[in-house]
Amino acid sequence: MMKMTSTMTNTISGMPRKRGMVYMLTTLVLVAVSCQKDSDPKPGPPVQPVAVGKAQVWLTTGDQTSLLARQSDAAITTAVGTPTITLDTTTRLQEIEGFGAALTGSSAYLINKKMSASQRSSLLKSLFNATDGIGISYLRMTIGASDFSLSDYTYDDMPAGQTDYPLDNFNIDKDQDDVVPMLKQILSVQSNLRIMGSPWSPPAWMKTNGNLKGGKLKTDAYDSYAQYFVKYVQAFKAEGITIDAITPQNEPLFSTATYPCMEMQATDQLNFIKNSLGPAFQAAGITTKIVTYDHNWDNTAYAISILNDAGASQYIAGSAFHAYGGNVSAMSVVHNASPTKGLYFTEISGGAWATNFSDNLQWQMANIFIGTTKNWSKNALLWNLALDENAGPTNNGCADCRGVVTINSTSGTVTKNVEYYSLGHFAKFVRPGAFRVASTSFESSTQLDNVAFINTDGSKALIVSNAGSSQQTFIAKLGARQFSYTIPAKAVVTIVW
């Protein structure tokens, strides 16, 4: 694609003054046409917009000439033009809990064992520090092994033919190798971090087939498995790590994988939450959220059926979705059915099947970041935080997935992938506790998309993507003021003020 070399003009008008924020001032000249009568008033001087503050502009272009890079200053001015979109910060929609990825066993291993102390410190700062990096504020972790672990394991493995219903053998020893120390170091960089845990399989002795792969949860193991979650939350709490939320089963409708997995139909999950997990958390005084489903957009009935059951719903904070099937609008379908419950987006991976930076950037904006938040998601999480140059280590799962970053397993050097920049346009500027605010849509012919937020400190963030093949200028209005910006083709911009 041809590189953009022209200088872009940006205008911000009418936003409250805030220090350290930058914009370019565009002058609008009003041309007065004089009438023929001598008695008509003479035209006055051209109307000039009044600068009232500054804002920041951060840009990523599809041709990679700009990668989450700070742009030239632009002034906030009084309103003088016709808006393309209108923002309304008084209409607050869902609260944002954070943006991030999954610290899988493989990711934790690479960061802990394949990097020097200085390399590790630099990487964690670039991932989790909001000033010097992209400020990731939400992580997902696997409860036991997944397809990105060093081996198959759970927190209560027993020899074949033996059981442990009292969970006397429960321990998180396997996670003490890499996961626990890396979570602790991450928390030292980003203390305001939410963590969601998801199991790929319960212990094999709890399952109908006695195997970590496939099968279903035995009905006589429901109460024991509920206590397994209680012990998991308590064990990590003892390490100083708070688990904010759990899902009962990762991808419960996919049970034929060659890595740990389990079938858990909606009726099974409903009964497990209603009769075992919810009461167990309540009895133990555990406030960790229970989030249902945790699978693709192509099924809304699963979550809705559980949320419609009053006995189960009382224990449930919301439902979670992946993007390997269906359309992001499914999240709004579930929201409309249960508007008091939260929506969470918990997994998607890039990989060798899609390597074009520009295409990936636009797809991720349309579907994962702008797309999920416009459809009521409280978070947006990518899959592996880090993988090596061979897309691993993998545990019989995806052989060509891509992490947010790639860590060279020999040198420890880091490559920031397109996911890093996509994630950064949100995580760095939309902080936990922010609210999505109302914003009108661009005309569909423009191929522009947007979503807007207000943070707890009063700062605002507008993210706009341009999927079109040419640069476009838009005007956004907020109250009596407005701003304009010229966004390059195939680019994403975050504007904060």
Give the pLDDT confidence of 125-167 residue by residue, as tens digits.
999 999 999 999 999 999 999 999 999 999 999 999 999 999 9
The reply to whether domains 10-87+443-496 and 97-432 share a CATH topology is: no
Cα–Cα distance, 138 to 433 (Å, whole number)? 12
As a whole number, mean pLDDT of residues 347-376 equals 98
Token digits of residue 226: 């509920």
Active-site annotation holder among 97, 263, 347, 419: 347
Q: How large a percentage of the chain has pLDDT more than 70?
A: 88
What is the DSSP pairing of strand 98-102 with strand 379-384?
A: parallel
417 with 403: CB under 8 angstroms?
Answer: yes
As a whole number, mean pLDDT of residues 2-12 equals 36
Cα–Cα distance, 145 to 257 (Å, whole number)? 13
Q: Where residue 55 falls among pLDDT bands split at 50, 70, 90? A: confident
Strand partners, 61: 491
Q: Considering the domain delimited by 10-87+443-496, tell me its CATH architecture.
A: Sandwich (2.60)
15 with 458: CB under 8 angstroms?
Answer: no
Q: Where residue 53 falls among pLDDT bands split at 50, 70, 90? A: confident
Report the candidate in 478, 489, 432, 422 with the shortest Cα–Cα distance to residue 452.
478
As a whole number, mean pLDDT of residues 307-329 equals 98
- Residue 389 is among the residues annotated as catalytic for this protein: no
81 with 47: CB under 8 angstroms?
Answer: no
Non-local (6+) Cβ contacts of 395 within 8 A are: 105, 106, 145, 146, 147, 148, 149, 150, 151, 152, 259
Active-site annotation holder among 97, 251, 263, 419: 251
232 with 143: CB under 8 angstroms?
Answer: yes
- Residue 251 is among the residues annotated as catalytic for this protein: yes
As a whole number, mean pLDDT of residues 254-281 equals 98
Cα–Cα distance, 120 to 111 (Å, whole number)? 6
Q: Please say whether the structural domain 97-432 has been given the CATH code 3.20.20.80.
A: yes
Cα–Cα distance, 429 to 80 (Å, whole number)? 27
How many alpha carbons lie under 13 Å from residue 451 in its C-beta half-sphere? 24
Domain edges within the chain = 10-87+443-496, 97-432
Whether a cis peptide bond, with omega within 30° of 0, leads into 166 is: no
144 with 260: CB under 8 angstroms?
Answer: yes
Q: Where residue 45 falls among pLDDT bands split at 50, 70, 90? A: low
Residue 277 has pLDDT above 90, yes or no: yes
